[in-house]
Amino acid sequence: MDHLRILLIEDSELDAELCVQELRQAGLDFDANRVCTRAMLERALATEPPHVILCDFSMPTDLDGMLALGIARERDPDMPFVFVSGTIGEERAVEAMKAGATDYVLKDRLERLAPVVRRALKEAEARHAKADAEVALRVSEARFRSFMEYLPGNASIADAEGRYTFVNELWEKTFGLPAERVLGRRHEEIAAEALVSVPAHYQEVLKHNRPIERLTRTGSNGEARWWLSHHFPIPAADGRSTMVGTIAIDVTERKLQEEKIARLSRIHAVLSGINSAIVRLRDTTQLLHEACRIAHEDGGFGVAWVGTIDAMGAVTPAACVGLTAGDPQPSALVITGKPDAGGVVTQMLQSGEPAICNDLRRDISRHSARRREAVRQGCRSLVALPLTMRGRVVGVFCLYAMEVNAFTAEELKLLMQLAGDVSYALEYIENERKLDYLAWHDPVTGAGNRERLRDRLDRALAERTAGGGSLAVLVWDMKRFRTINDTFGRDKGDELLRELAVRSRKALPRVEDVGRISADVFGGYIRDIGSASEVAGLLEQAALVFGEPFQLQGAKLAIGITAGVAVSPADGITADVLLANAEAALRQAKGRGERFVFYEPAMSARVAEKLTLESKLRVALDKEQFVLHYQPKVDLASNEVKGVEALIRWNDPETGLVPPMKFIPLLEESGLILEVGRWAIARAVEDWRSRTSAGLPTPRVAVNVSSVQLRRSGFVDVVASTLGGHPLGHGIDLEITESLLMEDIEENIGKLRSLKEMGINIAIDDFGTGYSSLSYLARLPVDALKIDRLFVRTMLDKPESMTIITTIISLAHALRLQVVAEGVESREEAKLLRLLQCDQAQGYTFSRPVPWDECFKAQ
């Protein structure tokens, strides 16, 4: 709404001006009119009704807020009416809302006024739109009935049970039944009284909630009629479709004409379709199946099947389409083995020419069970077409038609052309297959050759370009292959290459299109790699498979492989460049005597460093080199230690304490965090018990949970089993980051509840950096919020950080949660947090993370 009229019912001119000023500052464009008596209100409503009314609740005139509300509602029940008062209490506010007030705003909170006005106007607009829609619906209903009466077809409406609720005049005339004898009765009840054209498709329409179209035949051969019926769902007031409308048109004349044209044109359609398939298909099985499908779907033949014929005249089915639904034996019409003596297929084999039977019912008692079955399934005509290669009959193409005398001389001429085209395609495919195989495959190993790998790699790169992600190209060869080839001979060398091709697929299952690209070099590629270390890990695992001895002339040969790797897009974006770079890396690996090398030397160094670090972390876990340091959480009011946070440190014998950010991401990437995380919980429990058992006051210990741990379905069970061996209690809490909790909120709520049942308190770590919903926060079974160190560090300099901290503290206390500030590094920060009523704090201003025993020296 561009320009508004606002009526202010207010005895104080100053208060009215404050409201006007607030709304103008909010950007609203309006004219304001102030009234303070009943007469003024009624005159204003009568002359130029406002778009919204703002009303004081109590006024020293003959008009109060509730009376004004009643007058306004009598004039226009939908007009937005907002109380703006400094005296309205909660009970009166509720009473006003029940009486029809849109909302209320306190005068000392006028910043809410503009949003409330906007929302009220929007809701009023929606109500008016709904009222307009109801009027439109009634008009539409009248138009619909008029439209249905004048349709050039039989129109009806039925409910979900099939009971008619409406039929038009043409329906009554067509079937000779007046509407009063039809309405309220089911389709089945009146079918015996008239030639009703529309079968009951109501349930299908309502089930799928979409229209369907049916071509229906009624009556016997002499009196048959064809009806084109359209069935469509009609929604009720609640939006659910409970009625079905039907429009049926008599299309008998058109149908008869179509059948006549179809009989003349269907063979042309089959011929055109199969010729198109011949051009695009290069697989015999696909071609024969497509030929049958086209004959059945485009040509209208009831059944189409193809069989191959061997030198003894036995038939082997190759493709079949169109057997009737419900046939318990799908092969009942398809010949397997020797054809019946005197049958159509036998005649074709004996003459080498097409054989026809244009009436399968004739003398049926003297013919085979297969012909009787064909008649039972509705088939009336059959033609058997010979398929030839190099002058010899190699197959039969059989077509069953559902009408008598289906195959005329003109159609047979086209069918012979059809059989000749299929025969040519079969011979062409066989020759092409031989050439294609040699063009794309290595004749020694049967694996793809370099050209095939280049082609498939280019396609994979095109897909990668469209979808992103990295792709790695690998090439590898056997060590000492030339020596083995010279020693055992070329035949045995070829045998070894074939074995290497088989073992390559087993050792490197993720590598696609493994092929032999030169003498003893094989190659392939991996899509969607996460990191270079992932490829390195796969090659390390593959080394175990390749390391198994090869059997050659009774001797066991231990033959390792050397590999080179190039990664796209860093090392190239085309197949040729990537293969060349991977081969260059392979040469470097052979020259250095290394198992594998990445094309970019810096990448090789990084991968090696990462693998070394991962290996050292596994050793660190086995040799218990991880330790826990603890940082106190101090109560800001009493200055007492109320808890401690356990932090993992790695005490490397070579370098000393390693910074957490250098090894924790790798722990998560490698999955070692699961074992280290379990160890951290168990270690924290042991430390807590060591002090508790000595009778010393011991605060609870909080342990951080990583994303890898929480995402595991068995995380709760792992925690339970870790704590289960401590009958004296555990004193353990868990800290989980806000963003991690929101990944799968419903599942995580269940996990947190299970943890709470174990006596574990839950804190949301780094609160304020994620995107949690307040509705979910109220449902989360948590005990504390931890303010992220970023806000603490900048709260003295950035007002927005101070606002966030204040909001978090207020929110937490409203939800009866504790608040802990992280990263407090100065007394000024601690003092300010205490003034803001933050419960606890931790940081260097109180203590750095220290070993367990040192954590309590100051106490």
CB distance 753 to 787 below 8 Å: no
Tell me the mean pLDDT in the region 135-143.
Answer: 73
R_g (Cα) of the chain, nearest Å = 42
**pLDDT (tens digit per residue) in 486-543:** 777 888 888 889 999 999 999 999 999 999 999 899 999 999 888 888 898 899 888 8
Question: What's the pLDDT at 608?
Answer: 66
Q: Is the peptide bond before 569 cis (omega within 30 degrees of 0)?
A: yes
For residue 536, give Cα distances in angstroms to 23, 472, 521: 65, 11, 19
Residue 824 has pLDDT above 50, yes or no: yes
This model's pTM is above 0.85: no
CB distance 306 to 294 below 8 Å: no
Q: How far is CA 444 from the centre of its chain?
A: 44
Tell me the mean pLDDT in the region 783-805.
Answer: 92
Query: Taking all residues of the chain, what is their mean pLDDT, rounded to a whole number?
Result: 85
Phi, psi of 460 (to 5 degrees): -65, -40
Residue 221 has pLDDT above 60, yes or no: no
Between 777 and 57, the more confident residue is 57
Please tell me what DSSP assigns to residue 112. G
Q: How do the residues of the chain divide into helix, strand and coil, expressed in percent and rounded to 5? A: 45, 25, 30
**pLDDT (tens digit per residue) in 596-636:** 999 976 655 666 677 778 888 889 989 999 999 999 999 99
Q: Range with the lowest mean pLDDT among 490-504, 630-644, 773-787?
A: 773-787
Share of the chain above pLDDT 90, in %: 33
Question: What's the pLDDT at 194?
Answer: 53
- CA–CA gap between residue 172 and residue 42 (Å, rounded): 58
Residue 707 has pLDDT above 60, yes or no: yes
Looking at residue 186, its amino acid is R
Task: Name all domains of the chain by residue range, CATH numbers in brackets.
Answer: 4-130 (3.40.50.2300), 151-250 (3.30.450.20), 266-437 (3.30.450.40), 442-613 (3.30.70.270), 624-856 (3.20.20.450)
594: left (phi over 0), alpha (psi -120 to 50) or beta: beta
Question: What's the pLDDT at 844?
Answer: 94
For residue 537, give Cα distances in angstroms to 541, 546, 596, 665, 746: 6, 14, 11, 17, 35
Between 558 and 800, the more confident residue is 800
Question: What's the pLDDT at 812?
Answer: 92
For residue 283, give Cα distances in angstroms to 290, 678, 744: 10, 57, 47
Tell me the mean pLDDT in the region 223-241.
Answer: 78
**pLDDT (tens digit per residue) in 531-580:** 888 898 899 888 888 888 888 777 778 888 999 999 998 888 999 999 99
Question: What's the pLDDT at 817?
Answer: 94
Tell me the mean pLDDT in the region 138-151.
Answer: 72
**pLDDT (tens digit per residue) in 404-419:** 888 888 888 888 888 8
Residue 224 has pLDDT above 90, yes or no: no
CA-based nearest residue to 228, from 208, 248, 211: 248
